[in-house]
Structure 1
Amino acid sequence: MPLARSTTAFKSSSALVGKGVHRAAMVSIRNPIEMFVAVLILASFSYFTLYNLARTSDIFSGTSTRLYPATVHASANDNGFSLYPASDEITKNAVKIHMKQLAVNDKGEALDRFQSMIENQVFVPDEPALSNNKFSYAHGLCYQTEENQCAALPSWENDDQVVLSYAIDATGSIRRELARQWADKVDSLPPGELVSQANQQEGENLLAWLFIITRNVVFRLKELIDMADNVDIFVILAGYIMMIITFVSLFVNMRRMGSRYSLASAVTVNGFFSFMLALLTVHAIGVQPSPVVLAEAIPFLVVTIGFERPYKLTKRVFEFSKETPLTRQDVRETIIRAVDTVALPIARDCVIEISVLALGAKSAIAGLREFCFLSAILLAYDVVLLFTWYTSVLTLKLELTRIREISGNTSSNKNNNKKSQAPSNMSYVRRAVVKALSDDSSNATPRDSQKSDGSFIGRLKLLMIVAFVAMHIFEFCTAFQSGPQVDVTQPGIASVLSSLLEQHRASAQASLPLIVEVFPAVVFHVPSANKSLVPESITRPLEALSEIYAVYIQHPVISQWLAIGLFVSLFLNTYLFNVAKQPKQLPTEQRTDKQSQQQAPPTPTIATKKAVVSSPPPSTDVIRSVDECMALIKTPEALNDEEVIQLVQNGKVASYALEKTLGDFERAVSVRRSLISRASVTKTLEHSLLPLKDYHYDKVFGACCENVVGYMPLPLGIAGPMKIDGIDTVIPMATTEGCLVASASRGCKAINNGGGATTIVTADGMTRGPCLSFPNIISAGECKRWIEQEGNSILTEAFNSTSRFARLRKLKVALAGKLMFVRFSTTTGDAMGMNMISKGCEKALSVLGEHFPDMQIVSLSGNYCTDKKPAAINWIEGRGKSVVAEAVIPGHVVEKVLKTTVAALVELNVDKNLVGSAMAGSVGGFNAQAANILTAIYLAAGQDPAQNVESSQCITLMSAVNDGKDLHISCTMPCIEVGTVGGGTTLPPQQAVLEMLGVRGPHPTNPGDNARRLARIICAAVMAGELSLCAALAAGHLVRAHMAHNRATAVPAPIPGSCIKS
């Protein structure tokens, strides 16, 4: 029970996550421009905020090595301080002090005024809610040895600087936060008589500041390299090289999918936005990652997190977009299908990685803690922006590509042609590099490539993250060092600490341990006028712009109004852009004509094409020359149908390419119909009753039929409903045979009165039997033995690697001289599976050829399958779904509904279906009309009607039960070949029938269940037809029923002048 509950909770949470991602993606897909601009605005604000924080920090300041605070402690019995290990926990009941140091270059009166301001005029906190409760150093913040008396710390001199020390009581979380705020406020004091180094850089012009930053960064890197070990330098260099390879791999993979730079650049920008937002978030929380740690860890972050998620989404979008031509598909539907496919795996991997990083964030290692915290937030932002901002980029990309294709700029087709060419012109080294840096799945079909999508890469990255965190937690080695700390043994600092310890010993808290965190000194000096390196004519306009920015943009009221104006302008421009895309209003007469033409709902593609045509094709009275028509071939709407026919007849346009040339499927079918009719003997097709209009030709093109001239409607009848495995199910049947649906309905009624039909699926496996040739029977025999023994697992592994659904179940080998036939039997999910199994056979045979080089493949299908032909092997071994159905019909139902008796039915079944079929030498034909029912359902449900040859093999058995009072009937059908994915099931009418049965498309949780359910329905329906037909034969009603219902009798004309009807 606990396991079941946890599984249910997991499924519900997965469904919740999937629904949330779906809704977020739908918002981005429906409003791509708004989402794109909104994220850009958010990223811009983040960038400027981080930019200002960087300018006022000491990241780029000075050339000396950055110092980190040092912590010392002294217990009640110690005579002096000792370094406090960073990994230890803070001692309970200890007095915690922050010692802030200020180094001042002026020793005159300015120093006294500065010291008075620091102690009495810097107030914290800044929150408006606490404005009545402000603290300064002298009043509430300093460490007090006696009541209302701050600890007196001596000043000391260092290189013409006077160092002032301040002891701030940081015992407890509240005081620690107040101490941090006071220190930050002192560091950022506005320029006056004394100015800090950060404020001095802020006052310099922009170009000089950039020059100083560049110089300082170069010197800082040199100092870090000089301090580092050779092993550390090698590891960091290798990390940066791997990071560069990761970026190159991203651009190569995106280029192979058809995007040169745009999508790869968008992925990079998406990651940069996530990094900025993560940095801003951790700064707002109060976590301050070291710049050196970030510089060392960014390569690891790029390599482990990488770009697998956006690449996987992009790949799925392009796979779905290639299922139908881009000009005839809904871009929104394509992208949301791709998002729904990859959302749950991506979210699951992200949650696992964030959980591992959260463990690292709870460690006591200073650098690792901040980095893991930043990485976890970065991962979260990356996933959010992936399904919002990057999804909007994909939408805009597909929309622009679709517009270019509609406009005739089909440059993507040329790229695809170049891509499909064999890379024989490339050098071997270049091919090897491209293959190594790209995803090797370009030959996989969209369905089969869903098997893992880099699951190995995902597991490898997760393993790298776990190993990285564990390596630093257990201190096998660590790259995250806090850097050099303040030297507490320096004479000046040591004297201050000794004085502080003496005053602590004399206070009332002398029995408590003392912990002091010594911060590096902040330098203040007298401002001096620096000579600019840039001419004043250049710097003066820049300084003016900077002043305007400082006055207007940073003003709290003006900046808010500017932001409001920006958003109003954004949405107004978006609205105008959408209005501009709408077609112009037609006059009333034209609008009425359009409405009358569009009463029958066409497909989205046809509707789009009709919408862009502002006028009908030109009149056919004047037919232009071939040369004039060829000049207009890029704008087919300017040509009339007769001119298109003329181009085809003169060999300028291929008849089979009319859909692609005209861009209107219905018009292409009409033109082809005229061509074939005029070339035929009877010339009747053009004006015949064969339907043409309002059909989903976009679904047929490239999938179901070629050289289309119309469609053949069939009557669709419904038998039943019949209770099949406890579910009331209707039986759709497309047929032109009278009485067939009525007969099946009578059988359904009789079975329902007995409690319904019960079905089981005994086997599931589509087969393919290639023919192989060997030089002699010795080699053929060795190969047969190898396949049946140690080679079975090798071939199975090779076969299964080609698809997510195909799983090899059985191999049957037979020899005929030096020819060998191998019958592969495999499950294929909800697809009928011939293409899937053919691909697996090719892979398995290539592996087999490596072990037996003298083998030759005669044919991928050697009729050992056997497909669309009667064969005993299908009857014995099974092919597709093997189903058995049974039912018990009470005796009174047999007499009342079927108009016969149990004994008569049993006798007729033995004599007709068993003995009669045996006398005829039948294979699998021990039934009355299984092919009738099965083929009618096949036609209605989009199955391959030619496969009724083997699928309709059935044996019907009847026996008397319950002391001969009731009838037991069963139908065994070992080779029902059906699928709910691909082929004719993609056509909308057939999809409607499958949806009525509840088996449309792939099963959402258990692949193959929909196809198996359809096979159960077919077998039960065949049993109903068998029961009704045998009852009619036993009662002698068959001929009378067909004479009455299967012949259309002419209505007699009324007798002239007579009022009496006969």
Structure 2
Amino acid sequence: MKTSRIPGFYKMTVDERQELIKEMHPFSEQEKDEFFSISPLAIDTADNMIENVIGTFQLPLGLGLNFLINGKDYVVPMAIEEASVVASASHIAKIVRQAGGFTTEATGRVMIGQIQVVGCTDFYVAKEAIITEKENIIMAANTAYPSIVARGGGVEDLEVRILNGDSDSKYGQMLILHLYINTVDAMGANIINTMVESVAPLVEEITNGKVYLRILSNYADRSLARAHCIIPPELLETGGFSGEEVRDGIIHAFEFADSDPYRAVTHNKGIMNGIDPVVIATGNDWRAVEAGAHAYAARSGAYRSMTTWSKDQAGNLVGELELPMSVGTVGGATKVHPLAKMALNILDIKSAQELAQVIVAVGLAQNLGALKALVTDGIQKGHMALHSRSVAIAAGATGEMIDIVARELVETKQIRVGKAIELVEKYTK
């Protein structure tokens, strides 16, 4: 039976881990050969994905373990170069698992296409004309992409507003249309752009204005995903710190980030340490997700914490994360990149909504891992211990020497390349 609880996984060799994953998932022989090859992304495929290709660039692909979300086990592929992220997320997922797991939900899969109209004789008359012709505009947009309509999606609504209507504005007036488009399981950029471009001439005719920009918005605030967890304080006990001390420290750390943008930026970067690796591994647009997440963190007018941490009446730690999540499970690199296909296979998800929920759960876990470390032993103790292997490799260590050098770096608390070079020279004499 598939489970995300795999004790001792980190102790296995890479070959042993691969064999275990092959046993857990119904890969075909062709998929096994492709997914687990030395270079899964063939150069011919890469050459057709972007321009001016000279090769491929690989990142480590690890598995986030122990995730129990809405009662379902998830093994989460994470593509990232930074040490300690996968370990931290897995550690916290184990704690939350003991507390009953994460609960998540997602809103509808509605993305936004924008159309900018300038030069109207009367912007308020033009706005009313758009509202009057709303159904015709929606019909024209859906006609431009019938396949998404056939899958149950398409334009569901239209909104229009006037920007810079104030005479004191330093910018010119413009009319902005929002097409609200259900993209089903696609991220939807091509769908949205096709639709807004197709109706631009009709909008010009209705408004007697000039259309310039017609493009999607990556601020997907109608495609939200939420994660929630409740953790009894006894599960947070660490070394000489009581669970209550850790809980209170985490809440104070959140309050710091929610009050100060200098702290919020680093706090939120830690959340994205969990989110981006899953977005990348599944072939989704991590730049779009990043942009939308940071914009959402500033929706109050100030840049604030993406997460919230509080204490309930029973004294439990309560964590929440809500973000726009413009991801897909069809189209783009999700069906072109072999490792993206493998990642989706391992996740065993049924929809883009489900993927979005898994992603925010990982983000919440990663944030808790960072905060728990910060309010107890500090961030460096665990991070640098894991980073020591990379330092050893950078100093020229290979094979078994990597572990020997890394261990001595940790023991001497000198995790730096200069010290590692000394050790490599010492053991190779």
Q: TM-score, normalised by structure 1?
A: 0.30
Question: 1:993 aligned to 2:343?
Answer: yes
* Percentage identity across paired residues of the two chains: 24
- Measured in 2, the distance between the counterparts of 1:855 and 1:934 equals 41
1:759 positional shift: 0.6
Match for residue 860 of structure 1 among 211, 214, 217? 214
1:797 positional shift: 1.8
Does the 8 A contact of 1:716 with 1:733 survive in 2? yes
Does the 8 A contact of 1:931 with 1:948 survive in 2? no
1:943 positional shift: 0.9
Does the 8 A contact of 2:200 with 2:214 survive in 1? no
- Measured in 2, the distance between the counterparts of 1:994 and 1:963 equals 38
Question: 1:783 aligned to 2:138?
Answer: no
1:829 alignment partner, SS class: coil
1:793 positional shift: 2.0
Residue 961 of structure 1: aligned partner: 312
More strand by share: 2
- Measured in 2, the distance between the counterparts of 1:820 and 1:905 equals 49
Residue 883 of structure 1: aligned partner: 225
Deviations 1:815-858, CA, capped at 9 Å, x for gaps? 23432222222111111101101111123323223323x32111
- Measured in 1, the distance between the counterparts of 2:141 and 2:240 equals 50
1:795 positional shift: 1.7
More helix by share: 1
How does 1:39-58 map onto structure 2 within 5 Å?
none
1:709 positional shift: 1.2
Residue 1037 of structure 1: aligned partner: 378
* Gap change, CA 1:916 and 1:1021, over 3 Å in 2: closer
Does the 8 A contact of 1:768 with 1:823 survive in 2? yes
Question: 1:970 aligned to 2:325?
Answer: no
- Measured in 2, the distance between the counterparts of 1:928 and 1:1032 equals 15
Residue 289 of structure 2: aligned partner: 948
How does 1:463-612 map onto structure 2 within 5 Å?
none
1:718 positional shift: 0.7
Does the 8 A contact of 1:882 with 1:976 survive in 2? yes
Deviations 1:994-1035, CA, capped at 9 Å, x for gaps? 111123xxxxxxxxx511111011011111111111111111
Does the 8 A contact of 1:733 with 1:937 survive in 2? yes
* Gap change, CA 1:791 and 1:901, over 3 Å in 2: farther
2:229 alignment partner, SS class: strand
Question: 1:839 aligned to 2:185?
Answer: no
Match for residue 814 of structure 1 among 157, 162, 168? 162
1:756 alignment partner, SS class: coil
Does the 8 A contact of 2:46 with 2:56 survive in 1? no
Match for residue 774 of structure 1 among 105, 119, 142? 119
Residue 206 of structure 2: aligned partner: 851
1:721 alignment partner, SS class: strand
2:341 alignment partner, SS class: helix
- Measured in 2, the distance between the counterparts of 1:602 and 1:755 equals 37
Residue 137 of structure 1: aligned partner: none
| Partner AA of 1:994 in structure 2 | L
- Measured in 2, the distance between the counterparts of 1:808 and 1:918 equals 38
- Measured in 1, the distance between the counterparts of 2:264 and 2:39 equals 44
1:808 positional shift: 1.8
- Measured in 2, the distance between the counterparts of 1:710 and 1:920 equals 39
Residue 1022 of structure 1: aligned partner: 363
- Measured in 1, the distance between the counterparts of 2:34 and 2:273 equals 33
- Measured in 1, the distance between the counterparts of 2:60 and 2:84 equals 13
1:701 positional shift: 4.0
Does the 8 A contact of 2:193 with 2:214 survive in 1? yes
Does the 8 A contact of 2:99 with 2:230 survive in 1? yes
1:709 alignment partner, SS class: coil
* Gap change, CA 1:824 and 1:1055, over 3 Å in 2: closer
- Measured in 1, the distance between the counterparts of 2:273 and 2:87 equals 13
1:790 positional shift: 2.3
Gaps of 5+ in 2: 1-31, 165-171, 298-305, 396-404, 406-422
Gaps of 5+ in 1: 1-599, 604-690, 868-873, 1000-1008
How does 1:790-809 map onto structure 2 within 5 Å?
790-803=132-145, 804-805=147-148, 806-809=153-156
Does the 8 A contact of 2:76 with 2:346 survive in 1? no
1:1035 alignment partner, SS class: coil
- Measured in 2, the distance between the counterparts of 1:781 and 1:922 equals 43
How does 1:342-741 map onto structure 2 within 5 Å?
695-702=41-48, 704-741=49-86
* Gap change, CA 1:978 and 1:894, over 3 Å in 2: same
| Partner AA of 1:811 in structure 2 | L
2:186 alignment partner, SS class: coil
- Measured in 1, the distance between the counterparts of 2:371 and 2:253 equals 9
1:914 positional shift: 4.1
Structure of higher RCO (CA pairs closer than 8 Å, 6+ residues apart): 2
RMSD between aligned residues: 3.1
Question: 1:983 aligned to 2:335?
Answer: no
Deviations 1:675-706, CA, capped at 9 Å, x for gaps? xxxxxxxxxxxxxxxx996742343343x212
Residue 154 of structure 1: aligned partner: none
* Gap change, CA 1:713 and 1:926, over 3 Å in 2: closer
Question: 1:825 aligned to 2:180?
Answer: yes
Deviations 1:154-188, CA, capped at 9 Å, x for gaps? xxxxxxxxxxxxxxxxxxxxxxxxxxxxxxxxxxx
| Partner AA of 1:913 in structure 2 | F
Match for residue 920 of structure 1 among 250, 261, 264? 261
| Partner AA of 2:375 in structure 1 | A
- Measured in 1, the distance between the counterparts of 2:426 and 2:107 equals 64
- Measured in 1, the distance between the counterparts of 2:281 and 2:337 equals 11
Deviations 1:886-908, CA, capped at 9 Å, x for gaps? 11112211115996534543454
* Gap change, CA 1:897 and 1:714, over 3 Å in 2: farther
Does the 8 A contact of 2:138 with 2:155 survive in 1? yes
Q: TM-score, normalised by structure 2?
A: 0.71
* Gap change, CA 1:842 and 1:993, over 3 Å in 2: same
| Partner AA of 1:796 in structure 2 | I
* Gap change, CA 1:762 and 1:1055, over 3 Å in 2: closer
Residue 901 of structure 1: aligned partner: 243
- Measured in 2, the distance between the counterparts of 1:828 and 1:838 equals 12
2:329 alignment partner, SS class: coil
Does the 8 A contact of 2:236 with 2:246 survive in 1? no
| Partner AA of 1:696 in structure 2 | A
* Gap change, CA 1:851 and 1:757, over 3 Å in 2: same
| Partner AA of 1:977 in structure 2 | S
